[in-house]
Structure 1
Amino acid sequence: MYATLTFLVVCPDGKTIEAEAAHGTVTRHFRVHQKGGETSTNSIASIFAWSRGLAHRAKLDDNARLLDYTEKLEAACIGTVESGKMTKDLALLIHGPKLTREHYLNTEEFIDAVAAELRAKLCA
C-alpha cells in the first residue's frame, strides 16, 4: 500500500477550489537537481492536484472529455505504480533495507512511465 497527499479545499460557492500537493522533500530534491544529481521525486501528489483542479473545471463547464482525461491521468499514475514502476520513496516501502537502484525510477523515468501509461489509456 502507498499513500499520497493532495489537499482539496472547496469554497462555499462550490465554484472556487484550491488543490495542492503536500510535499516536504521537493526543495531538497530540487537542490540536488540543481547540482546535476539524480533525483527520484514522487510527482503523484502534484499530478493529482492538477487533475483534481481540471476535473472541477470539467464539471463546471460540463466538459466530459476533460473529465475523462483527468480520470485516465489519475488511473495512469496508479497503474504505473501497480505495474512495479515507482519512485524511490514507494520502492523503499516495498524493499526496505534491501532497496537497490534497480527497484525504482528517477524523476524523469517515472514521469515518462506515467505518460506512456496515459497514452495507452487515451488510445484504448
Structure 2
Amino acid sequence: ASIFAWTRGLAHRAKLNGNARLLEFAEKLEVACVGTVEAGKMTKDLALIIHGSNLSREHYLNTEEFIDAVAEDLKIRLSAKPK
C-alpha cells in the first residue's frame, strides 16, 4: 500500500508536468508490485490473509526481501521493448 501511495503521487506529478517517462515508471512499478504478489512473493500481512493459521516463514518475505523482489520485476519491465 505504501508503494502505491508513492506511485499515485508520482503519476499525478507526471501528469501535471507532462512527464511521460515518470508516468510510465509509476505505472510499471504498480504492475511490478502486483506481479510480484501474484508470483507468490509477498509480505507477512498478505500471506497471513491467504494462509491463516497455516502460515510459515516460507510463505512470506520480510520488507527488504519484498522490495528486492519488486525491484527485480521492475527492472525487467523497464528494460522491455515497447509493444
- TM-score of the pair, normalised by structure 2: 0.93
Q: Which residue is 1:33 aligned to?
A: none
Shift of 1:63: 0.9
Runs of 4+ in 1 over 2 A off after TM superposition: none
Q: Which residue is 1:84 aligned to?
A: 40
Does residue 1:114 correspond to 2:77, yes or no? no
Gaps of 5+ in 1: 1-44
Question: Between Structure 1 and Structure 2, how many residues are aligned?
Answer: 80
Q: Which residue is 2:57 aligned to?
A: 101
Does residue 1:67 correspond to 2:27, yes or no? no
Gaps of 5+ in 2: none
Post-superposition Cα deviations, 1:26-67, rounded to whole Å, max 9, x if no partner, equal xxxxxxxxxxxxxxxxxxx11111111110111011111110
Query: 1-side partners of 2:16 and 2:50: how far apart?
Result: 40
Identity across matched positions, percent = 76
Greater strand share, 1 or 2? 1
Greater helix share, 1 or 2? 2
1 or 2 for the larger relative contact order (CA 8 Å, sep ≥6)? 2
Query: 1-side partners of 2:56 and 2:20: how far apart?
Result: 42
Task: Kindly report the root-mean-square deviation, in angstroms, between the aligned alpha carbons of the 2 structures.
Answer: 0.7
- TM-score of the pair, normalised by structure 1: 0.63
Query: 2-side partners of 1:46 and 1:93: how far apart?
Result: 18
The letter of the residue matching 1:108 is: E
